[in-house]
Structure 1
Protein backbone atom coordinates (compact mmCIF):
# COMPACT_ATOMS: atom_id res chain seq x y z
CA UNK A 1 0.00 0.00 0.00
CA UNK A 2 1.42 3.44 -0.85
CA UNK A 3 1.99 6.12 1.74
CA UNK A 4 -0.89 8.40 2.62
CA UNK A 5 -1.36 11.78 0.93
CA UNK A 6 -3.91 10.52 -1.59
CA UNK A 7 -6.19 13.57 -1.45
CA UNK A 8 -3.32 15.91 -2.25
CA UNK A 9 -2.33 13.72 -5.20
CA UNK A 10 -5.90 13.72 -6.47
CA UNK A 11 -6.14 17.51 -6.37
CA UNK A 12 -2.86 17.82 -8.25
CA UNK A 13 -3.37 15.09 -10.85
CA UNK A 14 -7.11 15.54 -11.43
CA UNK A 15 -6.77 17.51 -14.73
CA UNK A 16 -4.46 14.83 -16.20
CA UNK A 17 -6.70 11.82 -15.52
CA UNK A 18 -8.99 10.20 -18.11
CA UNK A 19 -12.57 11.45 -17.86
CA UNK A 20 -13.92 8.33 -16.14
CA UNK A 21 -11.19 8.41 -13.51
CA UNK A 22 -11.70 12.14 -13.06
CA UNK A 23 -15.28 11.48 -12.01
CA UNK A 24 -14.13 9.00 -9.38
CA UNK A 25 -11.50 11.44 -8.08
CA UNK A 26 -14.01 14.28 -7.93
CA UNK A 27 -16.43 12.22 -5.83
CA UNK A 28 -13.66 11.31 -3.38
CA UNK A 29 -12.59 14.94 -3.06
CA UNK A 30 -16.15 16.19 -2.65
CA UNK A 31 -16.91 13.80 0.23
CA UNK A 32 -13.83 11.95 1.49
CA UNK A 33 -15.45 10.99 4.81
CA UNK A 34 -18.37 9.46 2.94
CA UNK A 35 -15.99 7.62 0.62
CA UNK A 36 -14.26 6.08 3.63
CA UNK A 37 -17.60 4.49 4.60
CA UNK A 38 -18.97 3.75 1.12
CA UNK A 39 -18.89 0.45 -0.75
CA UNK A 40 -17.30 0.22 -4.18
CA UNK A 41 -20.80 0.09 -5.67
CA UNK A 42 -21.78 3.29 -3.82
CA UNK A 43 -18.75 5.16 -5.14
CA UNK A 44 -19.25 3.89 -8.67
CA UNK A 45 -22.89 5.04 -8.66
CA UNK A 46 -21.99 8.48 -7.29
CA UNK A 47 -19.33 8.86 -9.99
CA UNK A 48 -21.66 7.61 -12.74
CA UNK A 49 -19.24 4.84 -13.67
CA UNK A 50 -18.64 1.12 -13.13
CA UNK A 51 -17.00 -0.83 -10.31
CA UNK A 52 -14.36 -1.92 -12.83
CA UNK A 53 -13.44 1.73 -13.37
CA UNK A 54 -13.16 2.28 -9.61
CA UNK A 55 -10.89 -0.76 -9.39
CA UNK A 56 -8.75 0.62 -12.23
CA UNK A 57 -8.64 3.95 -10.41
CA UNK A 58 -7.30 2.19 -7.30
CA UNK A 59 -4.54 0.49 -9.26
CA UNK A 60 -3.55 3.68 -11.07
CA UNK A 61 -2.84 5.25 -7.69
CA UNK A 62 -0.96 2.23 -6.38
CA UNK A 63 -3.62 0.45 -4.34
CA UNK A 64 -4.28 -3.25 -4.77
CA UNK A 65 -8.02 -2.78 -4.37
CA UNK A 66 -10.84 -0.64 -3.09
CA UNK A 67 -10.36 -1.78 0.53
CA UNK A 68 -6.86 -0.26 0.59
CA UNK A 69 -8.14 2.93 -0.99
CA UNK A 70 -10.83 3.31 1.68
CA UNK A 71 -8.26 2.80 4.46
CA UNK A 72 -6.02 5.49 2.94
CA UNK A 73 -8.90 7.97 2.68
CA UNK A 74 -10.11 7.21 6.22
CA UNK A 75 -6.61 7.60 7.65
CA UNK A 76 -6.04 10.91 5.91
CA UNK A 77 -9.40 12.45 6.77
CA UNK A 78 -8.99 11.36 10.39
CA UNK A 79 -5.59 12.99 10.60
CA UNK A 80 -6.94 16.18 9.04
CA UNK A 81 -9.80 16.32 11.52
CA UNK A 82 -7.44 15.78 14.42
CA UNK A 83 -5.28 18.65 13.20
CA UNK A 84 -8.44 20.76 12.76
CA UNK A 85 -7.83 21.20 9.10
CA UNK A 86 -10.74 21.49 6.75
CA UNK A 87 -10.54 19.09 3.81
CA UNK A 88 -11.63 21.89 1.48
CA UNK A 89 -9.61 24.83 2.77
CA UNK A 90 -10.46 28.30 1.53
CA UNK A 91 -8.16 29.08 -1.38
CA UNK A 92 -9.89 32.16 -2.79
CA UNK A 93 -8.64 35.73 -2.28
CA UNK A 94 -10.75 38.70 -3.34
CA UNK A 95 -9.48 42.17 -4.25
CA UNK A 96 -10.85 43.67 -1.03
CA UNK A 97 -9.97 40.87 1.40
CA UNK A 98 -8.09 42.01 4.53
CA UNK A 99 -4.55 40.90 5.29
CA UNK A 100 -5.63 38.53 8.05
CA UNK A 101 -7.69 36.59 5.49
CA UNK A 102 -4.73 36.52 3.07
CA UNK A 103 -2.49 35.22 5.84
CA UNK A 104 -4.95 32.48 6.75
CA UNK A 105 -5.37 31.34 3.13
CA UNK A 106 -1.64 31.31 2.39
CA UNK A 107 -0.63 29.65 5.66
CA UNK A 108 -3.40 27.07 5.36
CA UNK A 109 -2.53 26.22 1.75
CA UNK A 110 1.19 25.89 2.43
CA UNK A 111 0.63 23.85 5.59
CA UNK A 112 -1.70 21.50 3.75
CA UNK A 113 0.67 21.11 0.81
CA UNK A 114 3.55 20.27 3.13
CA UNK A 115 1.40 17.79 5.06
CA UNK A 116 0.24 16.14 1.83
CA UNK A 117 3.81 15.94 0.57
CA UNK A 118 5.02 14.42 3.84
CA UNK A 119 2.20 11.90 3.66
CA UNK A 120 3.11 10.66 0.20
CA UNK A 121 6.91 10.85 0.27
CA UNK A 122 8.63 7.55 -0.54
CA UNK A 123 11.08 7.12 2.35
CA UNK A 124 12.82 4.16 0.70
CA UNK A 125 13.48 6.35 -2.33
CA UNK A 126 14.78 9.18 -0.11
CA UNK A 127 17.10 6.72 1.65
CA UNK A 128 18.46 5.53 -1.70
CA UNK A 129 19.03 9.07 -2.98
CA UNK A 130 20.67 10.26 0.25
CA UNK A 131 23.06 7.30 0.27
CA UNK A 132 24.00 7.98 -3.35
CA UNK A 133 24.50 11.72 -2.80
CA UNK A 134 26.66 11.11 0.29
CA UNK A 135 29.19 9.10 -1.74
CA UNK A 136 28.88 10.73 -5.18
CA UNK A 137 31.81 12.34 -6.95
CA UNK A 138 29.43 14.81 -8.61
CA UNK A 139 25.85 15.87 -7.92
CA UNK A 140 24.07 17.99 -10.53
CA UNK A 141 20.79 19.82 -9.81
CA UNK A 142 18.65 21.41 -12.49
CA UNK A 143 15.34 23.24 -12.53
CA UNK A 144 13.90 26.33 -14.17
CA UNK A 145 11.77 29.13 -12.75
CA UNK A 146 10.55 28.48 -9.22
CA UNK A 147 11.97 24.94 -9.36
CA UNK A 148 15.34 26.51 -10.11
CA UNK A 149 15.14 28.39 -6.81
CA UNK A 150 14.65 25.11 -4.95
CA UNK A 151 17.55 23.52 -6.85
CA UNK A 152 19.83 26.45 -6.04
CA UNK A 153 18.96 26.28 -2.33
CA UNK A 154 19.69 22.55 -2.25
CA UNK A 155 23.03 23.07 -3.97
CA UNK A 156 23.95 25.70 -1.37
CA UNK A 157 23.16 23.34 1.50
CA UNK A 158 25.06 20.41 0.04
CA UNK A 159 28.09 22.56 -0.79
CA UNK A 160 28.15 23.68 2.85
CA UNK A 161 28.75 20.08 3.97
CA UNK A 162 31.42 19.34 1.35
CA UNK A 163 29.27 17.50 -1.16
CA UNK A 164 30.61 18.19 -4.68
CA UNK A 165 27.39 19.71 -5.99
CA UNK A 166 26.40 22.17 -8.72
CA UNK A 167 23.25 23.96 -9.78
CA UNK A 168 23.29 24.87 -13.47
CA UNK A 169 20.72 27.56 -14.32
CA UNK A 170 21.57 27.49 -18.03
CA UNK A 171 20.14 24.52 -20.00
CA UNK A 172 23.16 24.19 -22.29
CA UNK A 173 25.59 24.20 -19.38
CA UNK A 174 23.40 21.69 -17.55
CA UNK A 175 23.38 19.38 -20.57
CA UNK A 176 27.13 19.51 -21.12
CA UNK A 177 27.81 18.81 -17.46
CA UNK A 178 25.25 16.00 -17.41
CA UNK A 179 27.29 14.43 -20.21
CA UNK A 180 30.32 14.36 -17.89
CA UNK A 181 28.55 12.36 -15.20
CA UNK A 182 29.42 8.72 -14.59
CA UNK A 183 28.14 5.74 -12.61
CA UNK A 184 28.06 6.71 -8.94
CA UNK A 185 27.12 10.32 -9.71
CA UNK A 186 23.65 11.80 -9.15
CA UNK A 187 21.46 14.09 -11.27
CA UNK A 188 18.36 15.65 -9.68
CA UNK A 189 15.79 17.36 -11.90
CA UNK A 190 12.94 19.48 -10.54
CA UNK A 191 9.73 20.34 -12.37
CA UNK A 192 6.28 20.69 -10.83
CA UNK A 193 4.52 19.64 -14.04
CA UNK A 194 7.13 17.08 -15.03
CA UNK A 195 6.86 18.42 -18.57
CA UNK A 196 9.68 20.97 -18.73
CA UNK A 197 11.58 19.86 -21.81
CA UNK A 198 15.00 21.11 -20.69
CA UNK A 199 14.83 19.28 -17.35
CA UNK A 200 13.78 16.05 -19.07
CA UNK A 201 16.67 16.35 -21.53
CA UNK A 202 19.20 16.85 -18.71
CA UNK A 203 18.03 13.76 -16.82
CA UNK A 204 18.00 11.70 -20.00
CA UNK A 205 21.58 12.78 -20.77
CA UNK A 206 22.69 11.92 -17.23
CA UNK A 207 21.02 8.52 -17.45
CA UNK A 208 22.88 7.77 -20.70
CA UNK A 209 26.15 8.08 -18.78
CA UNK A 210 25.12 5.86 -15.87
CA UNK A 211 24.31 8.46 -13.21
CA UNK A 212 21.46 7.93 -10.78
CA UNK A 213 18.63 10.17 -12.00
CA UNK A 214 16.08 11.63 -9.59
CA UNK A 215 12.87 13.49 -10.49
CA UNK A 216 11.12 15.80 -8.03
CA UNK A 217 7.67 16.46 -9.48
CA UNK A 218 3.99 16.62 -8.59
CA UNK A 219 3.09 14.18 -11.38
CA UNK A 220 4.42 10.63 -10.93
CA UNK A 221 3.32 9.59 -14.44
CA UNK A 222 4.82 12.61 -16.23
CA UNK A 223 7.56 12.48 -18.90
CA UNK A 224 10.12 13.63 -16.32
CA UNK A 225 9.15 10.80 -13.98
CA UNK A 226 9.46 8.33 -16.86
CA UNK A 227 12.98 9.62 -17.58
CA UNK A 228 14.12 9.20 -13.97
CA UNK A 229 15.22 6.13 -12.06
CA UNK A 230 13.85 7.51 -8.77
CA UNK A 231 10.74 9.67 -8.45
CA UNK A 232 9.89 11.83 -5.43
CA UNK A 233 6.47 13.46 -5.57
CA UNK A 234 5.27 16.76 -4.17
CA UNK A 235 1.80 18.14 -3.48
CA UNK A 236 0.50 21.66 -4.08
CA UNK A 237 -2.41 23.80 -2.97
CA UNK A 238 -3.28 26.56 -5.42
CA UNK A 239 -4.64 29.88 -4.21
CA UNK A 240 -5.65 33.05 -5.99
CA UNK A 241 -2.51 34.66 -7.49
CA UNK A 242 -0.45 31.51 -6.77
CA UNK A 243 -0.92 28.92 -9.50
CA UNK A 244 0.35 25.39 -8.98
CA UNK A 245 3.89 25.98 -10.27
CA UNK A 246 4.31 28.91 -7.87
CA UNK A 247 2.83 26.92 -4.98
CA UNK A 248 5.17 23.95 -5.34
CA UNK A 249 8.28 25.60 -3.88
CA UNK A 250 7.62 24.77 -0.22
CA UNK A 251 6.84 21.14 -1.02
CA UNK A 252 9.96 20.83 -3.16
CA UNK A 253 12.07 22.31 -0.38
CA UNK A 254 10.59 19.82 2.09
CA UNK A 255 11.64 16.85 -0.05
CA UNK A 256 15.08 18.30 -0.75
CA UNK A 257 15.60 19.23 2.91
CA UNK A 258 14.78 15.66 3.91
CA UNK A 259 17.45 14.41 1.50
CA UNK A 260 19.92 17.01 2.78
CA UNK A 261 19.45 16.08 6.45
CA UNK A 262 19.70 12.37 5.60
CA UNK A 263 22.97 13.08 3.76
CA UNK A 264 24.25 15.05 6.76
CA UNK A 265 23.47 12.05 8.98
CA UNK A 266 25.53 9.79 6.75
CA UNK A 267 28.47 12.21 6.78
CA UNK A 268 28.05 13.25 10.41
CA UNK A 269 31.64 14.00 11.43
CA UNK A 270 32.55 15.60 8.12
CA UNK A 271 29.41 17.73 8.29
CA UNK A 272 30.16 18.98 11.81
CA UNK A 273 33.70 19.89 10.80
CA UNK A 274 32.42 21.69 7.70
CA UNK A 275 29.95 23.70 9.78
CA UNK A 276 32.73 24.75 12.16
CA UNK A 277 35.12 25.75 9.39
CA UNK A 278 32.55 27.69 7.36
CA UNK A 279 31.13 29.46 10.40
CA UNK A 280 34.60 30.58 11.39
CA UNK A 281 35.32 31.83 7.86
CA UNK A 282 32.43 34.33 7.94
CA UNK A 283 32.49 35.12 11.64
CA UNK A 284 34.31 38.43 11.10
CA UNK A 285 31.45 39.62 8.88
CA UNK A 286 28.88 39.36 11.67
CA UNK A 287 28.20 42.29 13.95
CA UNK A 288 28.85 41.53 17.62
CA UNK A 289 25.79 40.69 19.66
CA UNK A 290 24.31 43.52 21.70
CA UNK A 291 24.83 42.86 25.41
CA UNK A 292 21.66 42.32 27.35
CA UNK A 293 20.59 44.65 30.15
CA UNK A 294 21.50 42.00 32.73
CA UNK A 295 24.95 41.55 31.17
CA UNK A 296 25.58 45.31 31.23
CA UNK A 297 24.48 45.50 34.86
CA UNK A 298 26.87 42.74 35.87
CA UNK A 299 29.69 44.43 33.94
CA UNK A 300 29.02 47.75 35.70
CA UNK A 301 29.01 46.07 39.11
CA UNK A 302 32.28 44.34 38.31
CA UNK A 303 33.92 47.57 37.16
CA UNK A 304 32.74 49.31 40.32
CA UNK A 305 34.52 46.89 42.61
Structure 2
Protein backbone atom coordinates (compact mmCIF):
# COMPACT_ATOMS: atom_id res chain seq x y z
CA UNK A 1 0.00 0.00 0.00
CA UNK A 2 1.22 3.53 -0.75
CA UNK A 3 -0.05 6.77 0.73
CA UNK A 4 -0.42 8.95 -2.36
CA UNK A 5 -3.64 10.89 -1.77
CA UNK A 6 -2.44 14.50 -1.56
CA UNK A 7 -5.79 15.58 -0.09
CA UNK A 8 -5.19 13.43 3.01
CA UNK A 9 -3.50 14.87 6.06
CA UNK A 10 -0.20 13.09 6.58
CA UNK A 11 0.28 14.45 10.08
CA UNK A 12 -3.16 13.30 11.21
CA UNK A 13 -2.35 9.88 9.74
CA UNK A 14 0.84 9.70 11.80
CA UNK A 15 -0.98 10.73 14.98
CA UNK A 16 -3.73 8.17 14.41
CA UNK A 17 -1.20 5.37 13.85
CA UNK A 18 1.00 6.22 16.86
CA UNK A 19 -0.52 3.59 19.21
CA UNK A 20 0.19 0.84 16.65
CA UNK A 21 3.86 1.71 16.19
CA UNK A 22 6.81 0.24 18.08
CA UNK A 23 8.42 2.47 20.71
CA UNK A 24 11.38 3.36 18.48
CA UNK A 25 9.05 4.22 15.59
CA UNK A 26 6.96 6.40 17.91
CA UNK A 27 10.09 8.41 18.68
CA UNK A 28 10.62 8.88 14.94
CA UNK A 29 7.00 10.02 14.57
CA UNK A 30 7.40 12.56 17.38
CA UNK A 31 10.58 13.95 15.83
CA UNK A 32 8.87 14.42 12.46
CA UNK A 33 5.68 15.90 13.91
CA UNK A 34 7.72 18.37 15.96
CA UNK A 35 9.69 19.62 12.94
CA UNK A 36 8.41 18.40 9.55
CA UNK A 37 10.16 21.15 7.58
CA UNK A 38 13.49 20.03 9.03
CA UNK A 39 12.64 16.35 8.49
CA UNK A 40 11.92 16.76 4.80
CA UNK A 41 15.47 18.06 4.28
CA UNK A 42 17.36 15.93 6.82
CA UNK A 43 19.42 12.84 6.00
CA UNK A 44 18.31 9.49 7.39
CA UNK A 45 21.20 9.51 9.88
CA UNK A 46 20.19 12.97 11.16
CA UNK A 47 16.59 11.88 11.74
CA UNK A 48 17.84 8.71 13.44
CA UNK A 49 20.20 10.65 15.69
CA UNK A 50 17.55 13.15 16.77
CA UNK A 51 15.08 10.30 17.40
CA UNK A 52 17.72 8.18 19.17
CA UNK A 53 17.08 5.17 16.93
CA UNK A 54 19.00 3.25 14.28
CA UNK A 55 18.98 4.21 10.58
CA UNK A 56 16.96 1.10 9.56
CA UNK A 57 14.22 2.12 12.02
CA UNK A 58 13.56 5.22 9.90
CA UNK A 59 12.91 3.07 6.84
CA UNK A 60 10.70 0.67 8.81
CA UNK A 61 8.72 3.63 10.13
CA UNK A 62 8.06 4.91 6.59
CA UNK A 63 7.02 1.45 5.43
CA UNK A 64 4.71 1.04 8.44
CA UNK A 65 2.80 4.08 7.17
CA UNK A 66 2.52 2.64 3.67
CA UNK A 67 5.43 4.40 1.95
CA UNK A 68 8.07 2.66 -0.13
CA UNK A 69 10.87 4.37 1.76
CA UNK A 70 12.20 7.62 3.18
CA UNK A 71 12.40 9.41 -0.15
CA UNK A 72 8.73 8.70 -0.88
CA UNK A 73 7.81 9.77 2.66
CA UNK A 74 9.79 13.03 2.49
CA UNK A 75 8.13 13.90 -0.82
CA UNK A 76 4.76 13.57 0.91
CA UNK A 77 5.95 15.79 3.76
CA UNK A 78 6.93 18.45 1.24
CA UNK A 79 3.49 18.25 -0.39
CA UNK A 80 1.82 18.49 3.02
CA UNK A 81 3.87 21.50 4.10
CA UNK A 82 3.34 23.29 0.79
CA UNK A 83 -0.30 22.44 0.12
CA UNK A 84 -1.90 20.74 3.07
CA UNK A 85 -1.47 23.22 5.88
CA UNK A 86 -3.76 26.11 6.61
CA UNK A 87 -2.26 29.59 6.66
CA UNK A 88 -3.61 30.16 10.18
CA UNK A 89 -3.60 26.75 11.84
CA UNK A 90 -2.06 23.44 10.89
CA UNK A 91 -5.32 21.45 11.17
CA UNK A 92 -8.10 23.96 10.46
CA UNK A 93 -9.54 24.45 6.96
CA UNK A 94 -11.79 27.16 5.57
CA UNK A 95 -14.64 24.63 5.25
CA UNK A 96 -14.69 23.68 8.93
CA UNK A 97 -17.79 24.45 10.96
CA UNK A 98 -17.63 26.42 14.20
CA UNK A 99 -17.81 23.15 16.15
CA UNK A 100 -14.91 21.71 14.13
CA UNK A 101 -12.95 24.93 14.57
CA UNK A 102 -13.40 24.79 18.36
CA UNK A 103 -12.46 21.12 18.50
CA UNK A 104 -9.37 21.40 16.32
CA UNK A 105 -7.92 24.49 17.97
CA UNK A 106 -8.53 23.30 21.54
CA UNK A 107 -7.39 19.74 20.82
CA UNK A 108 -4.25 21.21 19.28
CA UNK A 109 -3.52 23.08 22.50
CA UNK A 110 -4.20 19.94 24.54
CA UNK A 111 -1.80 17.97 22.34
CA UNK A 112 0.83 20.67 22.82
CA UNK A 113 0.55 20.38 26.61
CA UNK A 114 0.99 16.61 26.42
CA UNK A 115 4.07 17.15 24.23
CA UNK A 116 5.48 19.62 26.75
CA UNK A 117 4.90 17.13 29.57
CA UNK A 118 6.85 14.45 27.68
CA UNK A 119 9.73 16.79 26.89
CA UNK A 120 10.28 18.56 30.22
CA UNK A 121 13.05 17.23 32.44
CA UNK A 122 11.73 16.70 36.00
CA UNK A 123 15.27 17.02 37.36
CA UNK A 124 15.77 20.42 35.71
CA UNK A 125 12.32 21.59 36.82
CA UNK A 126 13.17 20.60 40.40
CA UNK A 127 16.43 22.55 40.19
CA UNK A 128 14.64 25.59 38.79
CA UNK A 129 12.02 25.52 41.56
CA UNK A 130 14.66 25.27 44.27
CA UNK A 131 16.68 28.09 42.71
CA UNK A 132 13.68 30.40 42.47
CA UNK A 133 12.39 29.62 45.96
CA UNK A 134 15.72 30.69 47.45
CA UNK A 135 16.39 33.66 45.16
CA UNK A 136 17.21 37.07 46.55
CA UNK A 137 15.80 38.72 43.44
CA UNK A 138 14.18 37.41 40.24
CA UNK A 139 14.26 39.44 37.01
CA UNK A 140 12.12 38.22 34.11
CA UNK A 141 13.19 38.99 30.54
CA UNK A 142 11.00 38.58 27.46
CA UNK A 143 11.90 39.26 23.83
CA UNK A 144 8.91 40.01 21.58
CA UNK A 145 5.20 40.51 22.19
CA UNK A 146 4.32 37.02 23.43
CA UNK A 147 7.49 36.49 25.46
CA UNK A 148 7.18 39.99 26.92
CA UNK A 149 3.64 39.24 28.09
CA UNK A 150 4.79 35.96 29.66
CA UNK A 151 7.69 37.68 31.44
CA UNK A 152 5.31 40.30 32.89
CA UNK A 153 2.82 37.64 33.97
CA UNK A 154 5.60 35.66 35.65
CA UNK A 155 6.77 38.72 37.56
CA UNK A 156 3.26 39.40 38.83
CA UNK A 157 2.79 35.88 40.12
CA UNK A 158 6.21 35.66 41.77
CA UNK A 159 5.65 39.09 43.34
CA UNK A 160 2.39 37.89 44.89
CA UNK A 161 4.31 35.04 46.53
CA UNK A 162 6.52 37.57 48.28
CA UNK A 163 9.54 37.32 45.98
CA UNK A 164 11.46 40.41 44.92
CA UNK A 165 10.56 40.11 41.22
CA UNK A 166 10.78 42.48 38.23
CA UNK A 167 10.00 42.22 34.51
CA UNK A 168 11.88 43.85 31.64
CA UNK A 169 10.97 43.74 27.95
CA UNK A 170 13.12 46.65 26.77
CA UNK A 171 16.60 45.62 25.58
CA UNK A 172 18.41 48.47 27.37
CA UNK A 173 16.56 47.87 30.63
CA UNK A 174 17.39 44.16 30.45
CA UNK A 175 21.06 45.09 30.19
CA UNK A 176 20.80 47.57 33.10
CA UNK A 177 19.04 44.88 35.12
CA UNK A 178 21.70 42.29 34.34
CA UNK A 179 24.48 44.67 35.39
CA UNK A 180 22.94 45.10 38.85
CA UNK A 181 22.46 41.39 39.61
CA UNK A 182 24.70 39.25 41.78
CA UNK A 183 25.09 35.86 43.40
CA UNK A 184 21.77 34.58 44.70
CA UNK A 185 19.79 36.45 42.02
CA UNK A 186 17.94 34.69 39.19
CA UNK A 187 16.96 35.61 35.64
CA UNK A 188 14.05 33.92 33.86
CA UNK A 189 14.64 34.46 30.13
CA UNK A 190 11.69 33.66 27.87
CA UNK A 191 12.17 33.36 24.10
CA UNK A 192 10.78 30.57 21.96
CA UNK A 193 13.32 31.01 19.18
CA UNK A 194 16.11 31.97 21.56
CA UNK A 195 18.21 34.05 19.20
CA UNK A 196 17.53 37.72 20.02
CA UNK A 197 21.01 39.32 20.28
CA UNK A 198 20.00 41.85 22.95
CA UNK A 199 18.50 39.13 25.15
CA UNK A 200 21.58 36.94 24.74
CA UNK A 201 23.77 39.90 25.68
CA UNK A 202 21.77 40.57 28.85
CA UNK A 203 21.88 36.89 29.80
CA UNK A 204 25.66 36.83 29.35
CA UNK A 205 26.09 39.91 31.55
CA UNK A 206 23.77 38.46 34.23
CA UNK A 207 25.85 35.30 34.42
CA UNK A 208 29.06 37.32 34.57
CA UNK A 209 27.66 39.06 37.65
CA UNK A 210 27.01 35.70 39.31
CA UNK A 211 23.25 35.36 38.69
CA UNK A 212 21.64 32.08 37.71
CA UNK A 213 19.79 32.13 34.37
CA UNK A 214 16.76 29.91 33.75
CA UNK A 215 15.69 29.85 30.09
CA UNK A 216 12.38 28.73 28.60
CA UNK A 217 13.01 28.11 24.93
CA UNK A 218 13.44 25.47 22.24
CA UNK A 219 16.21 22.84 22.45
CA UNK A 220 19.63 23.72 21.03
CA UNK A 221 18.91 27.45 20.66
CA UNK A 222 21.58 30.04 21.40
CA UNK A 223 19.65 30.93 24.55
CA UNK A 224 19.43 27.30 25.70
CA UNK A 225 23.18 26.95 25.31
CA UNK A 226 23.91 30.26 27.09
CA UNK A 227 21.99 29.67 30.34
CA UNK A 228 22.39 27.63 33.52
CA UNK A 229 19.07 25.78 33.44
CA UNK A 230 17.28 25.30 30.11
CA UNK A 231 13.63 24.20 30.26
CA UNK A 232 13.18 23.33 26.60
CA UNK A 233 10.44 21.98 24.35
CA UNK A 234 9.79 21.73 20.62
CA UNK A 235 6.63 22.70 18.75
CA UNK A 236 5.46 21.81 15.24
CA UNK A 237 6.74 24.55 12.90
CA UNK A 238 3.32 25.64 11.66
CA UNK A 239 2.28 29.24 11.11
CA UNK A 240 0.30 28.82 14.31
CA UNK A 241 3.60 29.05 16.20
CA UNK A 242 4.21 32.49 14.73
CA UNK A 243 0.69 33.60 15.65
CA UNK A 244 1.76 32.61 19.15
CA UNK A 245 -1.17 30.66 20.61
CA UNK A 246 0.43 27.23 20.95
CA UNK A 247 3.76 28.74 21.96
CA UNK A 248 2.08 30.94 24.56
CA UNK A 249 0.11 28.02 26.03
CA UNK A 250 3.29 25.93 26.24
CA UNK A 251 5.31 28.67 27.95
CA UNK A 252 2.52 29.49 30.40
CA UNK A 253 2.11 25.82 31.32
CA UNK A 254 5.81 25.57 32.21
CA UNK A 255 5.59 28.72 34.29
CA UNK A 256 2.49 27.36 36.04
CA UNK A 257 4.56 24.34 37.06
CA UNK A 258 7.35 26.58 38.37
CA UNK A 259 5.04 28.98 40.25
CA UNK A 260 3.09 26.18 41.95
CA UNK A 261 6.33 24.44 42.84
CA UNK A 262 7.83 27.62 44.27
CA UNK A 263 4.67 28.32 46.31
CA UNK A 264 4.81 24.90 47.94
CA UNK A 265 8.59 25.10 48.41
CA UNK A 266 8.27 28.42 50.25
CA UNK A 267 5.59 26.91 52.49
CA UNK A 268 4.04 29.19 55.08
CA UNK A 269 5.93 32.23 53.76
CA UNK A 270 4.31 32.00 50.32
CA UNK A 271 0.84 31.11 51.57
CA UNK A 272 1.07 33.75 54.31
CA UNK A 273 1.92 36.41 51.73
CA UNK A 274 -1.13 35.48 49.66
CA UNK A 275 -3.31 35.61 52.78
CA UNK A 276 -1.99 39.09 53.64
CA UNK A 277 -2.75 40.26 50.13
CA UNK A 278 -6.26 38.87 50.43
CA UNK A 279 -6.86 40.68 53.72
CA UNK A 280 -5.55 44.01 52.38
CA UNK A 281 -7.06 43.95 48.88
CA UNK A 282 -10.43 42.34 49.53
CA UNK A 283 -12.03 45.54 50.98
CA UNK A 284 -10.98 47.29 47.76
CA UNK A 285 -12.81 44.76 45.58
CA UNK A 286 -9.70 42.82 44.57
CA UNK A 287 -9.73 39.11 45.31
CA UNK A 288 -6.56 36.99 45.48
CA UNK A 289 -8.57 33.87 46.27
CA UNK A 290 -12.08 33.29 44.92
CA UNK A 291 -14.70 34.12 47.55
CA UNK A 292 -16.11 31.15 49.37
CA UNK A 293 -19.71 30.31 48.74
CA UNK A 294 -21.78 30.27 51.89
CA UNK A 295 -24.43 27.63 52.13
CA UNK A 296 -27.90 28.85 52.87
CA UNK A 297 -29.29 27.55 56.09
CA UNK A 298 -32.46 25.60 55.68
CA UNK A 299 -35.09 25.90 58.34
CA UNK A 300 -36.00 22.64 60.04
Among 41, 56, 60, which residue is 1:19 paired with?
41
How far 1:291 moved relative to its partner? 8.5
Query: What's the CA shift string for 1:19-55, capped at 9, x where partnerless?
Result: 33479649x99xxxxx99x74664598335xxxxxxx
Q: Give the Cα separation in 1 of the matches to 2:237 and 2:131.
A: 33
Q: Is the 8 A contact 1:139 1:164 kept in 2?
A: yes
Q: Give the Cα separation in 1 of the matches to 2:225 and 2:204.
A: 10
How far 1:92 moved relative to its partner? 3.0
Query: What's the CA shift string for 1:223-256, capped at 9, x where partnerless?
Result: 1112112111134356666636442011111111
Calculate the TM-score normalised by the size of structure 2.
Answer: 0.70
Which residue does 2:69 correspond to in 1? 46
1:155 and 1:117, CA in 2 relative to 1: closer, same or farther beyond 3 A?
same
Q: Is the 8 A contact 1:92 1:239 kept in 2?
A: no
Which residue does 1:149 correspond to in 2? 149
Q: Give the Cα separation in 2 of the matches to 1:151 and 1:6.
A: 33
Q: Is the 8 A contact 1:142 1:189 kept in 2?
A: yes
Which residue does 2:168 correspond to in 1? 168
Q: Give the Cα separation in 1 of the matches to 2:292 and 2:212.
A: 48
Counting only pairs closer than 5 Å after superposition, residues 210-289 of structure 1 correspond to structure 2 as 210-218=210-218, 220-237=219-236, 243=242, 245-286=244-285
Calculate the TM-score normalised by the size of structure 1.
Answer: 0.69
Q: What is the SS of the residue equivalent to 2:280?
A: helix
1:216 and 1:285, CA in 2 relative to 1: closer, same or farther beyond 3 A?
same
Which residue does 1:158 correspond to in 2? 158
Which residue does 1:81 correspond to in 2? none
Q: Give the Cα separation in 2 of the matches to 1:101 and 1:231.
A: 36
Give unmatched runs, 5+ long, in structure 1: 30-34, 49-89
Over aligned residues, Cα RMSD in angstroms? 3.6
Query: What's the CA shift string for 1:138-175, capped at 9, x where partnerless?
Result: 11111121111111111111111111111112111111
1:7 and 1:213, CA in 2 relative to 1: closer, same or farther beyond 3 A?
farther
Give unmatched runs, 5+ long, in structure 2: 1-25, 63-67, 72-88
